[in-house]
């Protein structure tokens, strides 16, 4: 209704301004206000123009546009409409002029230019005035944009389009000196990022908005810290890969998230080969209700398998992911909805006969094995649980997969399996060996993938820090020099899916996760993102290393020869299967018997025999000092 009323006003404006344009074209040509003998030519030109030009605009939908979103395309439309109308009007009048000398021949050409100006001016005013109001709103929050490139240009245009937002755009800053003192859509570039403290104070800035694509986490942390010290909010535009269809709206300006501070660019891989592999296949995911397992299920469904079998031990988490995926498919509509069978199975991978029966019944073609115990201190206290679940459970799934004819098997491992200092890490290394042994004996694509710490996963230090910050602190770290590799859940799952396509059997894959991150820095980042200050609002306390923990993680076992794959951010150790002991089956069976004895020390000794690199922190420390 509002647009209809506005276009009625535009029609009235066209009629009035076209009449004035016709009169002005005669005045400019004759150089006098009186038309005298040319008044009939003026009347004829005006009447024809008032009919043909609005008619042309109507036919070309010139009265059905949101002119506050106008662009070059709409300007071309106006020029075409004016040209058509003027051509018709002047053709008639020129014919009349040759016989009656009612109009000078140059008048139609002058009128064409004036007519275009007459119909374009009010429409361009509708396009420009909202941005003018934006810069004049007295209650707006004053903002500085960091960046003056393509992303910043999208932000400035979006702010100028949306007259309802409450942001007063004061200026931009950019480290490129060639942009200084320039204007972007009328907004000045005031200086470089090092000028931010001065500019924030001088212009009474309330918030800064980072508009630089793929800004490294280290630099993002520096800019966030500047805003924090100045007492202003810092927000960010997501990377181009996060923008739907490359389009940007103001709703996508968001607060800075923890994954933005990883100090490396997010890793994106091409999933076209994954879709080709999974489409129309039967896929099983163990541990499907966990953080990684549930995300694998989401990504697998997007690849349109024939059947997704979600297996897990926790009924609530399995129910939740099944309901989520079912709702997502239902929301697509009958025409776009792929025909995917989603099946849920509650089972314990330690139940050998049950796992064999499940795989024999459903005959999956691809398995992603994510079920595992992962909590390091808890597994130190419960080594039998770590061995029965991570080692024997993996053996059960691998054996059942071989019997069921599974062609692709991807096991999720951990960087803690490399030179492990914990029972959990050693148990995952033993599980890797089982997968490698199966690949060597069967010739099938059974592979392992090693993760770093996954931001936001269950049991992650991130969740612990969030709870501690919410409680008012202190945030506890175990050692100020502890470092870990970090990755996001989407990055982790992309690595898993890629491993299914490029692995031929017996390999270990890992992600190029950049430099390890100090847990102390992570604690600082999380406190900062909460709008608090370390020492003033929240303290950081050192609690000491927990059982099984080490200061740093490694990515490859000694003897593994690794190199980059065709995906430059993914490493492969192709010879990992060569490190499998010849008596693996006997040693794993020995561990199975030791779990029944209830003697933890004997069980750990058996695990150390299978994984010679397993060295608890206290023993590693004693060896180092004695050396």
* 510 and 429 co-located in one domain: yes
* 501 and 584 co-located in one domain: yes
Q: pLDDT confidence of 241, banded at 50, 70, 90?
A: very low
**Chain length of the chain:** 627
Least confident of 389-403, 437-451, 545-559: 545-559
In a domain, 238, yes or no: yes
Residue with tokens 């923008």: 243
pLDDT given for residue 606 in this prediction: 92
* 180 and 329 co-located in one domain: no
* 125 and 54 co-located in one domain: yes
The stretch 72-89 carries a mean pLDDT of: 70
| DSSP letters for 521-580 | HHHHHHHHHTT--BTTTB-EEE--PPTT--S---SS-TT--EEE-SSTTEEEETTGGGGS
pLDDT given for residue 161 in this prediction: 65
DSSP 169: E
Q: pLDDT confidence of 243, banded at 50, 70, 90?
A: very low
Q: Could you give the CA distance from residue 554 to residue 452 in angstroms, rounded to a whole number?
A: 9
Residue 430: Cβ within 10 Å count: 26
Q: Could you give the CA distance from residue 351 to residue 374 in angstroms, rounded to a whole number?
A: 19
Nearest to 215 by CA among 269, 170, 257: 257
In a domain, 47, yes or no: yes
Q: What is the pLDDT of residues 475-484, one digit of tens each?
A: 898 888 888 8
pLDDT given for residue 358 in this prediction: 96
* 316 and 399 co-located in one domain: yes
Specify the 3-state DSSP secondary structure of 316. helix
In a domain, 426, yes or no: yes
Question: pLDDT above 70 covers what percent of the chain?
Answer: 79
CB 96 within 8 A of CB 89: no
Q: Is the per-residue pLDDT at 129 higher than 50?
A: yes
Give the pair of three-digit tokens for residue 510: 């890992």
Between residues 283 and 499, the one the model is more confident about: 283
Q: Is the per-residue pLDDT at 239 higher than 60?
A: no
Q: Could you give the CA distance from residue 411 to residue 292 in angstroms, rounded to a whole number?
A: 12
In a domain, 102, yes or no: yes
pLDDT given for residue 133 in this prediction: 46
CA 358 to chain centre: 36
Task: Please name the residue ranges forming H helices in 60-184.
Answer: 72-100, 107-134, 150-161
Q: Among 163-172, 253-262, 603-612, name the most confident range.
A: 603-612
Domain count, the chain: 3
Residue with tokens 């204007």: 183
Q: pLDDT confidence of 99, banded at 50, 70, 90?
A: very low
SS (HEC) of 129-147:
HHHHHHCCCCCCEEEEEEC
* 85 and 170 co-located in one domain: no
DSSP 389: I
In a domain, 75, yes or no: yes
Between residues 498 and 462, the one the model is more confident about: 498
CA 233 to chain centre: 22
Q: pLDDT confidence of 102, banded at 50, 70, 90?
A: low
The stretch 315-336 carries a mean pLDDT of: 83
Q: Could you give the CA distance from residue 14 to residue 198 in angstroms, rounded to a whole number?
A: 49
Q: Which of 201, 374, 416, 466 is catalytic?
A: 416
- Round the average pLDDT of the chain to a whole number and report it: 79
Q: Is the per-residue pLDDT at 627 higher than 50?
A: no
- Final residue of a domain: which of 133, 157, 190? 133
Residue 285: domain span: 273-455+487-518+554-618
In a domain, 596, yes or no: yes
Q: Is the per-residue pLDDT at 202 higher than 70?
A: yes
* 123 and 173 co-located in one domain: no
Q: pLDDT confidence of 583, banded at 50, 70, 90?
A: very high
* 438 and 584 co-located in one domain: yes
* 79 and 128 co-located in one domain: yes
CA 502 to chain centre: 24
SS (HEC) of 283-318:
EEEECCCCHHHHHHHHHHHHCCCCEEEEEECCHHHH
Q: Which residues of 330-480 form beta strands (DSSP E)?
A: 341-346, 366-369, 408-414, 445-451, 453-455, 475-477
* 202 and 113 co-located in one domain: no
pLDDT given for residue 622 in this prediction: 40
Give the pair of three-digit tokens for residue 301: 């469904």
The stretch 540-562 carries a mean pLDDT of: 78
Q: pLDDT confidence of 89, banded at 50, 70, 90?
A: low
Q: Is the per-residue pLDDT at 589 higher than 90?
A: yes
Least confident of 118-127, 166-175, 262-271: 262-271
Between residues 409 and 524, the one the model is more confident about: 409
In a domain, 437, yes or no: yes
* 339 and 243 co-located in one domain: no
Give the pair of three-digit tokens for residue 242: 């996060």
Q: pLDDT confidence of 127, banded at 50, 70, 90?
A: low
Q: Could you give the CA distance from residue 145 to residue 161 in angstroms, rounded to a whole number?
A: 16
* 286 and 228 co-located in one domain: no
Active site residue 416: yes
- Final residue of a domain: which of 87, 109, 133? 133
Q: What is the pLDDT of residues 393-416, one digit of tens each?
A: 999 999 999 999 999 999 999 888
Q: pLDDT confidence of 141, banded at 50, 70, 90?
A: confident
Nearest to 268 by CA among 291, 244, 290, 242: 242
CATH number of the domain bearing residue 500: 3.40.50.720
In a domain, 303, yes or no: yes
pLDDT given for residue 6 in this prediction: 56
pLDDT given for residue 621 in this prediction: 40
CB 419 within 8 A of CB 457: no
Q: pLDDT confidence of 136, banded at 50, 70, 90?
A: very low
- Cβ-count burial of 318 within 10 angstroms (0-12 exposed, 13-18 middle, 19+ buried)? buried
DSSP 387: I
Q: Are strands 483-484 and 141-146 parallel, antiparallel or unpaired?
A: unpaired
- Final residue of a domain: which of 133, 159, 176? 133
- Cβ-count burial of 325 within 10 angstroms (0-12 exposed, 13-18 middle, 19+ buried)? buried
Q: What angle do CA 338, 342, 344 make, to 5 degrees?
A: 170
- How far from each other are the two terminal CA atoms of the chain, in whole angstroms? 85
Helical pair 584-597 and 423-442, crossing angle rounded to 10 deg: 140
Question: pLDDT above 90 covers what percent of the chain?
Answer: 26
Q: pLDDT confidence of 605, banded at 50, 70, 90?
A: very high
């Amino acid at each position: 209704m509002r647009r209809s009323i506005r276009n009625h006003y535009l029609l009235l404006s066209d009629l009035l301004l076209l009449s004035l344009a016709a009169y002005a074209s005669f005045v400019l040509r004759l150089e006098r206000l009186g038309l005298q003998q040319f008044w009939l030519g003026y009347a004829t030109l005006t009447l024809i123009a008032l009919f043909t030009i609005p008619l042309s605009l109507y036919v070309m939908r010139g009265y059905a546009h949101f002119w506050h979103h106008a662009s070059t395309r709409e300007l071309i439309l106006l020029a075409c409409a004016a040209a058509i109308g003027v051509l018709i009007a002047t053709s008639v009048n020129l014919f009349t002029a040759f016989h009656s000398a009612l109009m000078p021949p140059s008048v139609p050409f002058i009128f064409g230019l004036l007519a275009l100006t007459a119909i374009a001016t009010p429409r361009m005013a509708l396009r420009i005035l909202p941005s003018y109001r934006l810069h004049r709103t007295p209650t707006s929050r004053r903002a500085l944009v960091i960046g003056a490139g393509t992303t910043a240009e999208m932000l400035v245009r979006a702010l100028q389009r949306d007259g309802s937002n409450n942001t007063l755009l004061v200026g931009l800053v950019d480290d490129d000196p060639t942009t200084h003192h320039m204007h972007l859509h009328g907004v000045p570039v005031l200086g470089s990022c090092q000028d931010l403290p001065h500019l924030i104070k001088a212009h009474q800035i309330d918030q800064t908005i980072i508009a630089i694509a793929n800004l490294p986490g280290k630099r993002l942390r520096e800019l966030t810290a500047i805003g924090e010290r100045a007492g202003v909010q810092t927000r960010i535009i997501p990377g181009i890969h996060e923008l739907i269809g490359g389009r940007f709206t103001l709703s996508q300006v968001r607060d800075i998230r923890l994954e933005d501070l990883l100090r490396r660019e997010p890793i994106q891989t091409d999933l076209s080969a994954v879709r080709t592999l999974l489409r129309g296949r039967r896929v099983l995911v163990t541990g499907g209700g966990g953080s990684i397992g549930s995300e694998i299920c989401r990504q697998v469904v997007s690849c349109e398998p024939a059947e997704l079998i979600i297996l897990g031990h926790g009924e609530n988490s399995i129910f939740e992911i099944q309901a989520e995926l079912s709702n997502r498919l239902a929301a697509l509509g009958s025409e776009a909805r792929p025909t995917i069978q989603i099946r849920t199975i509650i089972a314990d991978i330690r139940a050998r006969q049950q796992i064999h029966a499940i795989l024999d019944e459903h005959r999956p073609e691809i398995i992603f094995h994510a079920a595992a115990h992962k909590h390091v201190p808890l597994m130190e206290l419960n080594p039998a649980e770590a061995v029965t679940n991570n080692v024997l459970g993996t053996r059960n799934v691998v054996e059942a997969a071989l019997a069921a004819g599974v062609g692709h098997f991807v096991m999720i491992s951990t960087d803690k399996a490399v030179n492990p200092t914990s029972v959990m890490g050693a148990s995952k290394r033993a599980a890797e060996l089982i997968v490698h042994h199966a690949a060597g004996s069967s010739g099938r694509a059974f592979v392992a993938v090693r993760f770093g710490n996954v931001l936001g996963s269950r049991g992650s230090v991130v969740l612990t820090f969030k709870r501690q910050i919410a409680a008012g602190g202190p945030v506890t770290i175990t050692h100020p020099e502890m470092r870990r590799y970090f990755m996001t859940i989407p990055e982790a799952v992309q690595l898993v899916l890629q491993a299914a396509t490029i692995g031929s059997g017996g390999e270990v894959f890992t992600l190029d996760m950049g430099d390890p991150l100090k847990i102390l820095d992570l604690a600082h980042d999380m406190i900062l993102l909460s709008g608090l200050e370390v020492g003033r609002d929240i303290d950081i306390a050192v609690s000491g290393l927990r059982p099984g923990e080490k200061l740093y993680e490694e990515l490859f076992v000694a003897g593994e020869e690794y190199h980059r794959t065709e995906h430059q951010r993914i490493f492969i150790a192709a010879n990992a299967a060569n490190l499998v002991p010849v008596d693996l089956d006997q040693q794993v069976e020995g561990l199975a018997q030791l779990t029944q004895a209830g003697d933890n020390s004997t069980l750990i000794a058996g695990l150390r025999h299978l994984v010679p690199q397993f060295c608890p922190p206290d023993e590693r420390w004693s060896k180092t000092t004695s050396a």
